[in-house]
Amino acid sequence: MIGGSPTIGGEVLLDSTELVSLDSGRVSAGPRLSEGEYKLEDAVAALPDGRVVIAGGHRIDVYDPTNRSMTVLEEPALPRLSFRTASALDAHTVLLAGGYDASIVPTDQAVVVAIPPRPPDQ
Protein backbone atom coordinates (compact mmCIF):
# COMPACT_ATOMS: atom_id res chain seq x y z
CA MET A 1 0.00 0.00 0.00
CA ILE A 2 1.32 3.43 -0.89
CA GLY A 3 0.52 6.81 0.67
CA GLY A 4 -3.07 7.82 1.28
CA SER A 5 -4.82 10.16 3.68
CA PRO A 6 -6.52 9.80 7.04
CA THR A 7 -9.15 12.34 5.90
CA ILE A 8 -11.80 12.01 3.20
CA GLY A 9 -10.75 15.24 1.48
CA GLY A 10 -7.05 14.41 1.46
CA GLU A 11 -6.02 17.44 3.49
CA VAL A 12 -3.23 15.37 5.08
CA LEU A 13 -1.01 13.33 2.74
CA LEU A 14 0.82 10.23 3.97
CA ASP A 15 4.38 9.37 2.91
CA SER A 16 4.21 5.82 4.24
CA THR A 17 4.28 2.53 2.37
CA GLU A 18 3.37 -0.96 3.50
CA LEU A 19 4.55 -4.26 2.11
CA VAL A 20 1.99 -7.05 2.05
CA SER A 21 3.02 -10.69 1.75
CA LEU A 22 0.41 -12.38 -0.41
CA ASP A 23 1.52 -15.78 0.90
CA SER A 24 1.17 -15.08 4.63
CA GLY A 25 -0.99 -11.96 4.67
CA ARG A 26 1.68 -10.30 6.83
CA VAL A 27 1.98 -6.51 6.56
CA SER A 28 5.22 -4.66 7.31
CA ALA A 29 6.36 -1.06 7.01
CA GLY A 30 8.11 -0.18 3.76
CA PRO A 31 10.36 2.75 2.89
CA ARG A 32 9.05 6.32 3.04
CA LEU A 33 8.02 8.22 -0.08
CA SER A 34 9.81 11.46 -0.94
CA GLU A 35 6.56 13.31 -0.22
CA GLY A 36 3.02 12.56 0.89
CA GLU A 37 0.85 11.01 -1.82
CA TYR A 38 -2.90 10.62 -2.30
CA LYS A 39 -5.06 9.16 -5.07
CA LEU A 40 -2.39 6.95 -6.63
CA GLU A 41 -4.69 4.39 -8.20
CA ASP A 42 -3.07 4.52 -11.64
CA ALA A 43 0.17 6.44 -10.94
CA VAL A 44 2.13 3.27 -10.20
CA ALA A 45 3.89 1.12 -12.82
CA ALA A 46 5.89 -2.09 -12.50
CA LEU A 47 9.09 -2.35 -14.51
CA PRO A 48 10.19 -5.70 -16.00
CA ASP A 49 13.09 -5.90 -13.50
CA GLY A 50 10.64 -5.85 -10.57
CA ARG A 51 11.11 -2.23 -9.52
CA VAL A 52 8.00 -0.10 -9.03
CA VAL A 53 7.65 3.50 -10.26
CA ILE A 54 5.44 5.76 -8.10
CA ALA A 55 4.58 9.04 -9.83
CA GLY A 56 1.86 10.90 -7.95
CA GLY A 57 3.77 13.88 -6.58
CA HIS A 58 6.37 16.38 -7.73
CA ARG A 59 9.09 13.74 -7.85
CA ILE A 60 9.17 10.17 -9.05
CA ASP A 61 9.99 7.49 -6.48
CA VAL A 62 11.34 4.11 -7.61
CA TYR A 63 10.97 1.20 -5.18
CA ASP A 64 13.43 -1.68 -5.50
CA PRO A 65 12.18 -4.88 -3.82
CA THR A 66 15.62 -6.54 -3.96
CA ASN A 67 16.88 -4.29 -1.15
CA ARG A 68 13.57 -2.68 -0.05
CA SER A 69 14.90 0.77 -0.95
CA MET A 70 13.33 3.88 -2.45
CA THR A 71 15.22 6.07 -4.92
CA VAL A 72 13.98 9.57 -5.75
CA LEU A 73 14.45 10.94 -9.27
CA GLU A 74 15.22 14.66 -9.10
CA GLU A 75 14.24 15.20 -12.74
CA PRO A 76 11.76 15.81 -14.12
CA ALA A 77 10.04 18.02 -11.57
CA LEU A 78 6.31 17.45 -12.05
CA PRO A 79 3.14 19.28 -11.09
CA ARG A 80 1.18 17.47 -8.37
CA LEU A 81 -1.80 15.79 -10.01
CA SER A 82 -4.43 13.38 -8.76
CA PHE A 83 -5.36 10.43 -10.96
CA ARG A 84 -2.26 10.70 -13.17
CA THR A 85 -1.52 7.44 -14.96
CA ALA A 86 1.87 5.75 -15.19
CA SER A 87 2.51 3.10 -17.83
CA ALA A 88 5.78 1.24 -18.36
CA LEU A 89 6.70 1.46 -22.04
CA ASP A 90 9.81 -0.71 -21.73
CA ALA A 91 12.44 -1.66 -19.15
CA HIS A 92 13.57 1.93 -18.54
CA THR A 93 10.81 4.23 -19.83
CA VAL A 94 7.49 5.25 -18.27
CA LEU A 95 4.69 7.36 -19.76
CA LEU A 96 2.95 9.70 -17.30
CA ALA A 97 -0.33 11.11 -18.58
CA GLY A 98 -3.41 13.06 -17.58
CA GLY A 99 -4.61 13.83 -14.09
CA TYR A 100 -6.45 16.57 -12.21
CA ASP A 101 -4.88 19.60 -10.54
CA ALA A 102 -5.76 20.89 -7.04
CA SER A 103 -8.82 22.70 -8.45
CA ILE A 104 -10.05 19.43 -10.00
CA VAL A 105 -9.34 20.68 -13.52
CA PRO A 106 -8.30 17.87 -15.87
CA THR A 107 -5.02 18.17 -17.74
CA ASP A 108 -3.86 16.85 -21.08
CA GLN A 109 -0.22 16.77 -19.98
CA ALA A 110 1.91 13.76 -20.87
CA VAL A 111 5.61 13.13 -20.42
CA VAL A 112 7.89 10.21 -21.15
CA VAL A 113 10.37 9.66 -18.31
CA ALA A 114 13.62 7.70 -18.50
CA ILE A 115 14.12 5.51 -15.42
CA PRO A 116 17.81 4.84 -14.72
CA PRO A 117 18.80 1.19 -14.71
CA ARG A 118 19.32 -0.59 -11.41
CA PRO A 119 22.92 -0.15 -10.26
CA PRO A 120 25.03 -3.18 -11.28
CA ASP A 121 25.84 -4.20 -7.68
CA GLN A 122 22.18 -4.98 -6.94
* Length, in residues, of the chain: 122
pTM, whole model, 2 decimals? 0.87
Give 45's strand partners. Answer: 53
CATH at 71: 2.40.10
Report the candidate in 61, 60, 82, 86 with the shortest Cα–Cα distance to residue 10.
82
Question: Beta strands 52-54 and 44-46: pairing type?
Answer: antiparallel
Q: Do residues 110 and 97 make contact, with C-beta atoms less than 8 angstroms apart?
A: yes
Tell me, yes or no, whether 44 lies in a domain.
yes
pLDDT tens across 45-100, in order?
999 999 999 997 888 999 999 999 999 998 888 888 888 899 999 999 999 999 88
**What span, in angstroms and rounded, lies between the C-alpha atoms of 83 and 61?**
16
Tell me, yes or no, whether 106 lies in a domain.
yes
Tell me, yes or no, whether 24 lies in a domain.
no
Tell me, yes or no, whether 85 lies in a domain.
yes
How many domains would you assign to the chain?
A: 1
Domain of 89, in residue numbers: 39-114
Query: Is residue 28 scored above 60 in pLDDT?
Result: yes
pLDDT tens across 64-77, in order?
999 999 999 988 88
Tell me, yes or no, whether 103 lies in a domain.
yes
